[in-house]
C-alpha cells in the first residue's frame, strides 16, 4: 500500500485483529444466497445452495418485522459445491437449487431465508435473505432502505472484504455468520457498562464464542434495521422496504413516498443513489437519517455479465489504484465523498459528515461519553411531547449515541451551536443537540497503523484538506454527534440523528427517543 492507503472505520476491537478472518465452522453445514436480492411481487428468486454431503435442505422463508410470518416452506435438493477462491470478488457461481415466485400477498419487507439440514441427528442452520420491493399500488408513505451496501462491504465470507484488502465485494455469495442473525448477548460494539469496557473484551468474547465474523458487530440486519422496523410496526406504522441497490437500479421507486428512512450504519453509497435521494429532497421529499457514518464512502455498482449489478467496487484507502483515478471520471473515485478530488461532501445531502464526527463510547474513543445528546434547541417541533428542556441529556439510558457519529463544522453564537457551512452543510441546518465524538489516532486505534501508513484521522485530513499536517488534523480532532434538521429550497425536510445507534434507543424503550421518532414519522411520513 502507498502512504495514502488505509483501511479505516470500524477497526477497533476485532478478535485478534491482526490475523482474524471469518471461516465457516469446521462442521458439515449448509449455506446459500438469493439472487436477485430484491424482487417485486410476481418476480423470481433464485435460491443458490451448497449443502454438506448433498443433503436435502429444509427451506423456510419468513417476513420479519413486528412479527415473524412464514410465507413459504419446502424441502429442496441441493449439491455440495466448493467455494471459489475468488468468491469474495466474483461470487460463488453456485447453480440455482430452486426458484421461488413471491405471490401478491407477500408484503414489501425483509424476508429471512432459514436453511436447515440434518447431520446425524444434529441440526445445522444458516440464513440468507431477500427483500420484496413494494407494489405500485402500495398505500404506505414511508420507505426504508436497508443498508445492504454496508453489509456487503463488511461481509468476509470466503475471505476478503473492503476492510482487509479487498476492493470488489460480490453480492452473489452467502453472508458470513452474524450479519443476518445473532444469538442473544453482547452483540453491540458500544460499551454500555461502567466502568467502560475499553478493550471490548466482552464483545470480542461474544464474537468468538458464537463463531461469528469479526466484523459482525459493524453491519447487518439484526444490529439496527430489525429493531427499528419491529418498533415501527408495533406502533402501527406501515413501512415498505428496499435495498441500497434499488435506489441505484430502480430510482423511480422513491417517487411514491413522502418519507425515506436510513437506519443504523449506512456507510456506502453510489453516485446514482445520491442522485436519486438528492433529487427527491429537491422536489420536496423528506428523509430521516436515523443513522451515522452515513454515505461516507463512494462506491460503484458494476456487473459486466447480465446488466444487473452484482459487484460493489470500493478502493477506499487504495484509491490511487482505482481505474478512474487521474482520469476525466475522477468524480466517480471510490474514496470518501468529502475527498477534495470528488468535491461532493455528504453534508450536501445529510447536513453532517463522519469527517466532523467520529466515535462515541467504543474502544478508546470518548469512552466515558454520556451515550446521549445535550439538547440546545428544545423548542423544535421534533421535541414536542417529550418534556425536554435546554441542557437536558437525551437518550443516555439506552446509549442512543454510540459507535460511529456524524457532525459538521460549527461556531458558537450566543451560547448556541451554529453551522459555518464551510464543509458543505446547508445554510438552513439547525443543530438541535450534540455530544462529543473523536476519530482514531495512532495511539487510540484498536489496530495501530504501520509506521509508513497514516492514522485514520490523518487519512481523513489528507482527503478533506489535501493536507495531513498537525494543523490539518487538529481541525477535525474535536468531533460531534449531531441531531439536526434542515429544509431544502424545494420544501423537503431532512433529519439526521448523527449516530448509528438511534434504533437502540427504541429497542431500549427510551420514552423520549420513542416520542421524537413518532413525531418525525407522523409529521414527515
- If one counts every other C-beta atom within 10 angstroms of the C-beta of residue 498, the result is 38
Do β-strands 122-132 and 38-39 pair in parallel, antiparallel, or remain unpaired?
A: parallel
**pLDDT surpassing 70 at residue 24:** no
Half-sphere exposure at residue 474, Cβ-oriented, CA atoms within 13 angstroms = 3
Taking residues 4-8, report their average pLDDT. 38
**pLDDT surpassing 90 at residue 382:** yes
Nearest to 278 by CA among 297, 251, 301: 251
**Percentage of the residues of the chain whose pLDDT score is greater than 90:** 90
| Cell 481505474, residue located | 323
Please tell me whether the overall predicted TM-score, pTM, comes out greater than 0.85 for this model: yes
Nearest-angstrom CA–CA distance, 418 and 412: 6
Largest CA distance in the chain: 72
State the pLDDT at residue 448. Answer: 87
Residues in the chain: 525
State the pLDDT at residue 100. Answer: 97
Nearest to 148 by CA among 176, 126, 178, 179: 179
> Which of 12-26, 107-121, 191-205 reaches the highest mean pLDDT?
107-121
State the pLDDT at residue 25. Answer: 47
Contacts of 426 (CB under 8 A, 6+ apart): 347, 348, 351, 486, 488
- Residues 246-270 as b/e (b if ≥16 CB within 10 A, e otherwise) read bbbbebebbebbebbbbbbbbbbbb
Contacts of 158 (CB under 8 A, 6+ apart): 83, 84, 85, 87, 88, 92, 173
Nearest-angstrom CA–CA distance, 221 and 223: 6
Amino acid at each position: 500500500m502507498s502512504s495514502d492507503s488505509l483501511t479505516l472505520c470500524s477497526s477497533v476491537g476485532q478478535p485478534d485483529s491482526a490475523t482474524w478472518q471469518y471461516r465457516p465452522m469446521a462442521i458439515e453445514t449448509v449455506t446459500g444466497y438469493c439472487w436477485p436480492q430484491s424482487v417485486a411481487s410476481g418476480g423470481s428468486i433464485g435460491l443458490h445452495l451448497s449443502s454438506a454431503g448433498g443433503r436435502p435442505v429444509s427451506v423456510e422463508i419468513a417476513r420479519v418485522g413486528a412479527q415473524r410470518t412464514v410465507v413459504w416452506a419446502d424441502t429442496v435438493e441441493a449439491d455440495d459445491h466448493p467455494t471459489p477462491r475468488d468468491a469474495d470478488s466474483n461470487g460463488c457461481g453456485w447453480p440455482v437449487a430452486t426458484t421461488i415466485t413471491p405471490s401478491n400477498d407477500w408484503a414489501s419487507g425483509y424476508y429471512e431465508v432459514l436453511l436447515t439440514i440434518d447431520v446425524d441427528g444434529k441440526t445445522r442452520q444458516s440464513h440468507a435473505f431477500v427483500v420484496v420491493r413494494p407494489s405500485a399500488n402500495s398505500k404506505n408513505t414511508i420507505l426504508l432502505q436497508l443498508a445492504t451496501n454496508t453489509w456487503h462491504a463488511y461481509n468476509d465470507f470466503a475471505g476478503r472484504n473492503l476492510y482487509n484488502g479487498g476492493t470488489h465485494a460480490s453480492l452473489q455469495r452467502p453472508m458470513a455468520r452474524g450479519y443476518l442473525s445473532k444469538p442473544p448477548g453482547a452483540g453491540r460494539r458500544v460499551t454500555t457498562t461502567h466502568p467502560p469496557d475499553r478493550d471490548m473484551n466482552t464483545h470480542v468474547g461474544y464474537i468468538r464464542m458464537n463463531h461469528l465474523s469479526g466484523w459482525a458487530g459493524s453491519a447487518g440486519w439484526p444490529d439496527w434495521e430489525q429493531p427499528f422496523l419491529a418498533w415501527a410496526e408495533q406502533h402501527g406504522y406501515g413501512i415498505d422496504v428496499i435495498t441500497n441497490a434499488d435506489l441505484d437500479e430502480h430510482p423511480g421507486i422513491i417517487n411514491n413516498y413522502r418519507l425515506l428512512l436510513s437506519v443504523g450504519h449506512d456507510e456506502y453509497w453510489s453516485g446514482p443513489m445520491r442522485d436519486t435521494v438528492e433529487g427527491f429532497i429537491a422536489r420536496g421529499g423528506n428523509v430521516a437519517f436515523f443513522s451515522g457514518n452515513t454515505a461516507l464512502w463512494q462506491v460503484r455498482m458494476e456487473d459486466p455479465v447480465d446488466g444487473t449489478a452484482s459487484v460493489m467496487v470500493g478502493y477506499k484507502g487504495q484509491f490511487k489504484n482505482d481505474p478512474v483515478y487521474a482520469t476525466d471520471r475522477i468524480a466517480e473515485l471510490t474514496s470518501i465523498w468529502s475527498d477534495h478530488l470528488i468535491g461532493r461532501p455528504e453534508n450536501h445531502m445529510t447536513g453532517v459528515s463522519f469527517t466532523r464526527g467520529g466515535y462515541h463510547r467504543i474502544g478508546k474513543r470518548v469512552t466515558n461519553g454520556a451515550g446521549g445528546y445535550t439538547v440546545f434547541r428544545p423548542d423544535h417541533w421534533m421535541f414536542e411531547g417529550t418534556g425536554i428542556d435546554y441542557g437536558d441529556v437525551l437518550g443516555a439510558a439506552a446509549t442512543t449515541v454510540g459507535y460511529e457519529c456524524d457532525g459538521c463544522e460549527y461556531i458558537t453564537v450566543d451560547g448556541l451551536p451554529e453551522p459555518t457551512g464551510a464543509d458543505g452543510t446547508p445554510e438552513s441546518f439547525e443543530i438541535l443537540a450534540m455530544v462529543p465524538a473523536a476519530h482514531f489516532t495512532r495511539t487510540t486505534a484498536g489496530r495501530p497503523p504501520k509506521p509508513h501508513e497514516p492514522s485514520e484521522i490523518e487519512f481523513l485530513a489528507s482527503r478533506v484538506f489535501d493536507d495531513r499536517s498537525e494543523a490539518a488534523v487538529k481541525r477535525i480532532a474535536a468531533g460531534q454527534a449531531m441531531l439536526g434538521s434542515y429544509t431544502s429550497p424545494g420544501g423537503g425536510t431532512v433529519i439526521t440523528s448523527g449516530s448509528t445507534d438511534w434504533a437502540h434507543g427504541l429497542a431500549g424503550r427510551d420514552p423520549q427517543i420513542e416520542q421524537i421518532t413518532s413525531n418525525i414519522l407522523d409529521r414527515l411520513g
